[in-house]
Structure 1
Amino acid sequence: MKVIERFWQLDEPEKANKNLSPSEELCESHFATYMKRNQDGRFSVRLPFKQDPSLLGESKHIAINRFLALERRLDKDVILKTQYVQFMNEYADLGHMERVDINQVNPHYVIPHHGVLRPDSSTTKLRVVFDASCKTSSGLSLNDTMFTGPTIQEELFAILLRFRCPRFDFCSDIQKMYRQIIIQPEDQRYQLIVWRSNNNEPLQFYRLKTVTYETRSAPYLATTCL
């Protein structure tokens, strides 16, 4: 009988409100306060900081050192370098990042990045990892200063049970899901990266203008917008 009652409860359109922790409530309130929709319907959000981001220390030098190490690796792997340059060029061409003068952007946080090559993948051969957990000189990282956010989606059991009910089901993937959502300009300063496609060029700094994977709040922001 309890199993049947459970089935009825899952089938009800009205869902019971989840019990949120105080930090999760603050995160939800922050999202509701600052979320905007552009004229084309695109979402723009702010990073849900739980600590003042000005507490972040110096991050530029470690990001540069890690990029130079990445560059040496790319020079030894032609396939990886080709894929990496293509990825970054697309990032810029789509308007998801743009060059900045780091001396004019303070405070800021520079995110180190590296690549993971997956030759067997049928979709994404290269996965670029943005390390927002990298500590600054103050001992804090960008991820340390942000809320994780509550889990928005239903429990997997409920999703799978509902999936069995219709006669036909459709599955799809949202292309570049995180990068469909814009980070509002005042918070883009905390998503800087260092990059150049050629060793003969000077090092350049770019700001990532969209929700960035590997940042702590990215899954929450993307799922909530969805």
Structure 2
Amino acid sequence: MYPTRLPLHSMNLSVKRFIVKLRAATSSRYSVALPFKGDVSALGDSTRAAQADIIRYLVPVAKESKNDSNSQYVIPHHAVYRSDKSTKLRVVLDAIHENHRRFQRILYRFNINEPLQLYEMTRVPFGLRCSPYLAIRTVRQLAADEHSRYPDAAAVAERDLYMDDLVSSCLTEQDAALLSNELIELFRAEGSI
């Protein structure tokens, strides 16, 4: 017999550092902090390395980039094209909370003749080591917070959802339709839909 729940000891102790629920007047979204391993100042400034990667993948660019902070991280990234996949073009990151956006910066330009611009991501991207944990933990927090309003959907989200895959069953089509609507309302309450 396998245990249905595995203890996450150290993760359970630090969950409060990762999940902060924001219920502002304009938004009901969750905001998650990145779980840094150690002091963020050890990251250094990766702007030049990111520029070198772009030069390697694209065309030569201007060497100057304005930094607004000595404590930032520019995520090296590039596009991967696969003609045999349904998603032919995807961004690969080699590598939120508002205070951590400076650690999710990328250099990009929309036109080859434009200079590189520095952008900050406002969402946790796929590709970070912590992305799966933060996504799953946020859904579990949502299920716990909204259980009284959406009990069936919250139970299914906690038990039968992994990342963006839901595998569940109902006894009738009518039950499935009701559950589907409740799941939509559950995720709409958080602002995911």
TM bucket normalised to smaller: 0.5 to 0.7
Write out aligned runs for 1:1-20 (5 A). 6=1, 17-20=5-8
CA distance in 1, matches of 2:85, 2:121: 25
Name the SS of the counterpart of 1:193 in structure 2: strand
For 2:98, the equivalent position in structure 1 comes to 185
Q: Percent identical across equivalent pairs?
A: 41
Preserved contact between residue 36 and residue 44 of structure 1 (Cα < 8 Å):
yes
For 1:180, the equivalent position in structure 2 comes to none
Give the alignment's TM-score, normalised by structure 1.
0.52
**Deviation string, structure 1 residues 46-76 (Cα, Å, up to 9, x no partner):** 111231212212211110010111214xxxx
**1:127 Cα deviation after fit:** 1.4
For 1:201, the equivalent position in structure 2 comes to 114
CA distance in 2, matches of 1:185, 1:46: 8
**How many matched pairs?**
133
For 1:128, the equivalent position in structure 2 comes to 91
**Deviation string, structure 1 residues 96-139 (Cα, Å, up to 9, x no partner):** xxxxx8422331001010111121223x111110111xxxxxxx
CA distance in 2, matches of 1:207, 1:191: 6
Structural RMSD (CA): 2.3
Name the SS of the counterpart of 2:111 in structure 1: coil
Equivalent residue for 2:73, pick from 109, 119, 128: 109
**Deviation string, structure 1 residues 128-187 (Cα, Å, up to 9, x no partner):** 10111xxxxxxxxxxxxxxxxxxxxxxxxxxxxxxxxxxxxxxxxxxxxxxxxxx12110
Name the SS of the counterpart of 2:125 in structure 1: coil
Write out aligned runs for 1:41-56 (5 A). 41-56=28-43
Letter in 2 for 1:28: V
CA 1:26–1:56 in 2, change beyond 3 Å: closer, same or farther?
A: farther
Write out aligned runs for 1:70-109 (5 A). 70-72=57-59, 102-109=66-73
Moved segments of 4+, more than 6 Å: none
- What are structure 1's unaligned runs of at least 5 residues? 1-5, 10-14, 73-100, 133-182
Letter in 1 for 2:33: R
Question: 1 or 2 for the larger relative contact order (CA 8 Å, sep ≥6)?
Answer: 1
